[in-house]
């Protein structure tokens, strides 16, 4: 969320499927890594084989919040509060 707020144009490009090369190993690893924190937060065992449904909800929440941050719809203080709250869930 902080990255999206600080780099809105780059964040927007990162989410454009037309700009991505699906068979790129680095991209595949980045995609997998992007689901690790939501999986920890939700303690989702990936019953639907990774990612599980709860993990996808958590991932969508963080990207939705990041998009709001990138568009300036969240203040820096709100972004910080969301980051701190999400991190607390991830480490609990």
Residues in the chain: 92
Q: Is the pLDDT of residue 37 over 80?
A: no
Q: Is the pLDDT of residue 7 over 70?
A: yes
Q: What does the pLDDT average to over 3-25? A: 85
* pLDDT score, position 46: 58
* pLDDT score, position 55: 78
Q: What does the pLDDT average to over 74-81? A: 89
- Looking at the structure of the chain, the number of domains it has is 1
d(CA 57, CA 65): 12
20: confidence class by pLDDT, cuts 50, 70, 90: confident
Query: Containing domain of residue 79, as a range?
Result: 2-90
d(CA 3, CA 59): 15
Where b means 16+ CB within 10 Å and e means fewer, 60-83 reads: eebbebbbbbbeeebeeeebeebb
């Amino acid at each position: 969320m902080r990255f999206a707020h600080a780099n809105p144009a780059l964040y927007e490009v990162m989410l454009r499927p037309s700009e991505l090369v699906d068979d790129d190993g680095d991209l595949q690893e980045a995609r997998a890594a992007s689901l690790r924190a939501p999986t920890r937060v939700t303690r989702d065992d990936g019953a639907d084989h990774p990612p599980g449904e709860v993990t996808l909800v958590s991932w969508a929440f963080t990207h939705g919040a990041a998009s709001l941050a990138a568009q300036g719809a969240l203040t820096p203080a709100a972004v910080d509060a969301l980051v701190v709250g999400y991190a607390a869930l991830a480490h609990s």
